[in-house]
């Protein structure tokens, strides 16, 4: 969405207060209880589809709703194949494992992300190697990464290794943070130069695009999450999307405990994972995908309202989509001039019933990852100290002053 389009969603300009609480109160209408950060919106055919599973007894990892959900994911993203999993972390673990990430490898990943991104790498026995993000999208910074890798990697027998650890640098996992796309066009050049496997963490970016290409489709595979706080939910769930047919077959096999044969005997031909999504969850997911467009529209309108309400407020800036892509605005982030100002706003808004959350704590601050290899992370540190997430659910009630016929 262009800046012009975002602005066009604002029909009226309500009076603006002098602090962030007054500004936010012009966007969201008062209601009984707090405005949650991101609550699920269960709507459409959800009750009927889930009831079908209960009525028929098809509630586990086989059933028509799993197949239908995977088909709907391919239609939504444009990917040729989708493999539904129990959650996004399982999807990322399986994708990395199937792509050949093994113990002793290093995988490049931003420190500014949810812990599951690094955990999935660790599950493979590999080491998360933390890299810098940039301020526009909050995602991985290709320009800074290119300079760093030039100084850090060396090629030995066709494989790039870390000069300091001698470990093969096997893959890279960019994260489309809060739904804002990473600059994948620049990043793909780096991936090719260093022969890296590209697995996208698109867990937060269902409905985000770069040009006409959905996030998650720029590398070997991408992963999605449908946790209860995501744009659509299956309760718990995830998916791997890929255009590679052979890779999709391997992923489907591995995530179904590597079961082989015709089903008459329980034969397994590899160490696999019990990662397939249950039919019950998939049924809910199908109903959710049927209303995805309206959810995305509501979230775009909410993002526009926030941007308009906070415009001109000294010491506060909104994070909007980068120039190279369109965001689903999963979570709306704002940046304060100082950490002290962020913390004061956090307390004030939460006390008033607007549930907010600080942005990600950098992973290199966590005890299990504090000694991992990393480049300079000054931007990550700065953004983490100053960022705050605002209530962002598609079902949040807008105030009359900020309502629009577009909603």
How many CB atoms are closer than 10 A to CB 180?
27
286 and 398 housed in the same domain: no
For 210, phi then psi, to 5°, come to -120, 110
pLDDT, residue 1, reads 43
| Mean pLDDT on 379-396 | 97
8 A C-beta contact, residue 402 and residue 12: yes
Domain boundary among 290, 319, 336: 290
Report helix, strand or coil for 171. Answer: strand
Residue 293 is encoded by which pair of tokens? 């467009």
The pLDDT of residue 80 is above 90: yes
18 lies in the same domain as 90: no
Q: Nearest Cα to 355, choosing from 229, 271, 247?
A: 229
CA nearest neighbour of 109 among 200, 217, 241, 216:
200
Per-residue pLDDT, 405: 38
Are 165 and 313 found together in one domain?
no
Distance, CA of 106 to CA of 127 (rounded, Å): 5
Computed over every residue of the chain, the mean pLDDT equals: 94
- Whether residues 70 and 159 share a domain: the answer is yes
CATH code: domain of residue 309: 3.90.1150.10
Average pLDDT score over residue span 380-404: 89
What confidence category does residue 217 fall into, taking pLDDT thresholds of 50, 70 and 90? very high
- Cα 230 to its chain centre, rounded Å, is 8
- How much is the pLDDT for 3? 47
pLDDT at residue 403 is higher than 80: no
Shared domain check, 297 and 284: no
Question: Structural domain tally of the chain?
Answer: 2
Q: Could you tell me the pLDDT band of residue 261, with boundaries at 50, 70 and 90?
A: confident
Mean pLDDT of 215-227: 98
Does residue 244 share a domain with residue 103? yes
Q: What is the pLDDT of residue 4?
A: 47
Distances (CA, A) of 266 to 15, 62, 402: 67, 16, 59
Tell which of 247, 270, 290 closes a domain.
290
Residue 286 sits at the vertex; the CA angle it makes with 93 and 220, to the nearest 5 degrees, is: 30
Residue 132 sits in a domain whose CATH number is: 3.40.640.10
Nearest to 139 by CA among 111, 164, 102: 111
pLDDT band at 401 (very low <50, low <70, confident <90, very high): low
Quick one: pLDDT band at residue 6, thresholds 50, 70, 90?
low
Q: Is residue 73 part of a domain?
A: yes
Judged by average pLDDT, the poorest of 138-152, 255-269, 320-334 is: 255-269
Q: Look at residues 256, 290, 324 and tell me which one is the last residue of a structural domain.
A: 290
The arithmetic mean of pLDDT across residues 347-366, rounded, is 97
**280 and 143 inside one domain:** yes
Looking at the fold, whether 54 and 12 belong to one and the same domain comes out as: no
Please check whether residues 136 and 230 belong to one and the same domain: yes
User: pLDDT: is 4 or 201 the higher one?
Assistant: 201
Other Cβ atoms closer than 10 A to 322:
19
Domain, as residue range, for 54: 46-290
Question: Do 190 and 227 belong to one domain?
Answer: yes
Within a domain: 407: no
Same domain as 352, residue 206 = no
- Same domain? 182 vs 308: no
What is the pLDDT, as a whole number, of residue 2? 47
Structure letter (DSSP) for residue 259: E
Whether the per-residue pLDDT at 186 is higher than 50: the answer is yes
282 pLDDT above the threshold of 90 = yes
Query: Do 299 and 394 touch, CB atoms closer than 8 A?
Result: yes
Q: Is the pLDDT of residue 125 over 80?
A: yes
């Amino acid at each position: 969405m262009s800046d012009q389009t975002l602005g066009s969603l604002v029909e009226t300009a309500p009076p603006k207060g002098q602090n962030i609480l007054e500004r936010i109160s012009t966007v969201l209408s008062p209601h009984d209880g707090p405005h949650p950060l991101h609550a699920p919106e269960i709507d459409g055919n959800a009750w009927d589809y889930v009831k079908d599973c209960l009525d028929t007894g098809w509630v586990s990892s086989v059933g028509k709703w799993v197949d239908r959900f995977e088909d709907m994911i391919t239609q939504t993203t444009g990917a040729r194949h989708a493999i539904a999993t129990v959650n996004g972390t399982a999807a990322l673990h399986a994708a990395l494992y199937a792509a050949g990430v093994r113990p002793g490898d290093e995988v490049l990943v931003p420190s500014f992300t949810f812990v599951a991104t690094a955990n999935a790498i660790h599950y493979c026995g590999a080491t998360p190697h933390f890299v810098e993000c940039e301020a526009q999208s909050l995602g991985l910074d290709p320009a800074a990464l290119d300079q760093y890798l030039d100084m850090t990697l060396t090629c030995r027998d066709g494989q790039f290794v870390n000069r300091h650890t001698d470990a093969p640098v096997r893959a890279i996992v960019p994260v489309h943070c809060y739904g804002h796309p990473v600059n994948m066009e620049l990043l793909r050049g780096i991936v090719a130069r260093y022969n890296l496997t590209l697995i996208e963490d698109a867990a937060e970016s269902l409905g985000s695009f770069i040009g006409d290409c959905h996030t998650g489709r720029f590398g070997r595979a991408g992963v999605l999450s449908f946790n209860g706080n995501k744009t659509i939910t299956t309760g718990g769930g995830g998916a791997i999307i890929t255009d590679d047919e052979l890779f999709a077959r391997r992923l489907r096999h591995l995530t179904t405990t590597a079961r082989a044969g015709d089903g008459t005997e329980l034969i397994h031909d590899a160490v696999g994972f019990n990662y397939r999504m249950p039919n019950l969850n998939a049924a809910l997911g199908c109903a959710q995908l049927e209303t995805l467009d309206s959810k995305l529209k509501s979230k775009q309108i909410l993002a526009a309202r926030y941007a308009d309400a906070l415009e001109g407020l000294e010491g506060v800036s909104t994070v909007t989509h980068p120039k190279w892509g369109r965001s689903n605005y999963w979570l709306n982030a704002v940046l304060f001039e100082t950490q002290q100002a962020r913390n004061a706003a956090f307390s004030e808004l939460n006390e008033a019933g607007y549930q907010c959350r600080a942005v990600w704590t950098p992973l290199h601050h966590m005890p299990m990852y504090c000694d991992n290899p990393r480049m300079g992370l000054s931007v990550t540190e700065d953004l983490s100290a100053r960022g705050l997430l605002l209530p962002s659910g598609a079902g949040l009630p807008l105030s009359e002053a900020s309502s629009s016929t577009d909603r």
